[in-house]
Amino acid sequence: MLEEKSFHHRLCARLKRLVFSLSEMSNRFQEYHESDMAGRKVVEVYLDLLSQPCRAVHIFLNHNKIPHMVKTVALRKGENKTPEFTKLNPMQKVPVMVDNGFVLTESDAILKYLATTYKVPEHWYPQQPERRARVDEYTAWHHTNTRPHAAKVFIMEVLLPRMTGQPPDPAKLERALAELGDTLGKLETMFLKRQPFLCGDDITLADLLAACELMQPLGGGRDVLKDRPLLVAWKSRVQSALKDSFDEAHGVLYRLRDKSRAKL
């Protein structure tokens, strides 16, 4: 009996020392991480807020209070084709991020980099493998579904008429709206059927990217979600979670919407 008590006593003592050691390691890592962050330069982002992916990056940085500097690249003026910008991104596209000398393009990659490099709530890009895989699953699907189909409606109703002086072709616009409608239906049945956000109970990068894309047709005065209560409720939850950062980033789109409505 005495030997058993002695064994348990030694075991408890070792466990306490182990817990203390792990705690010390965690504290030192946190101190190192914070020191490393303090020594970093402010993140630079090259954006045009008329671009959906740029708005997503802008919202994420502002909402999570990541120190950054915005450098506007006006696509309508061709500023993305200057030699200086082309050197930064030969693809001549925005957004572009520069973090401590590290240059990164593509909004999906930028958002995931920021979520894993900076101290932000874990729900944005979960560490748990299955939950993170759900976010990756949506973002992979996003680039061949939500993004091109919502953008096509905006291009046909806003950009092409401004460039050509001609109204949209009714048949082509109808097909574009049908394609977008099919995507919206999949968002409802595949992603939002039994959960408040696209990848679960919390907002993630998937919701941010999707919301910015689905806002784009609003620039032409078209609310593509208005007849879909499930998606309307989802967008409301996204806006509530993002607070002022959502409307701030979409200010340019709201102004474009108001101009479109004034012409009717």
Higher pLDDT, 29 or 215: 215
Mean pLDDT of 248-259: 95
Asked if the model's pLDDT at residue 30 lies above 50, the reply is no
Instruction: List the single range of 10-14, 41-45, 176-180 with lowest mean pLDDT.
Output: 10-14
Q: Which two tokens stand for residue 259?
A: 């101009």
CATH 1.10.510.10 holds for 43-117: no
Q: Please, are residues 131 and 199 in contact by the beta-carbon 8 Å criterion?
A: yes
pLDDT digits (tens, 9 = 90+) for 214-230: 999 999 999 999 999 99
pLDDT digits (tens, 9 = 90+) for 9-20: 564 555 455 444
Coil, strand, or helix at residue 46?
A: strand
| Residue 114: its H or E element | helix 107-117
- In this prediction, residue 74 has a pLDDT band, given cuts at 50, 70 and 90, of very high
Domain extent listing, the chain: 43-117, 124-262
What would be the CATH architecture of the domain defined by 124-262?
Up-down Bundle (1.20)
pLDDT digits (tens, 9 = 90+) for 99-125: 999 999 999 999 999 999 999 999 999
| Residue 104: its H or E element | strand 102-105
Tell me the whole-structure pTM to 2 decimals. 0.84
Asked if the model's pLDDT at residue 253 lies above 70, the reply is yes
Q: Please, are residues 204 and 198 in contact by the beta-carbon 8 Å criterion?
A: yes
Mean pLDDT of 176-186: 98
Same CATH fold, 124-262 and 43-117?
no
The pLDDT value recorded for residue 51 is 98
Burial 204-222 (b: 16+ CB within 10 A, else e): bbbbbbbbbbbbbbbbbbb
Q: What is the mean pLDDT of the chain?
A: 90
pLDDT digits (tens, 9 = 90+) for 151-168: 999 999 999 999 999 999
- In this prediction, residue 209 has a pLDDT band, given cuts at 50, 70 and 90, of very high
Angle at 208 between CA 204 and CA 211, to 5 degrees: 135
- Percent over 90 (pLDDT), the chain: 82
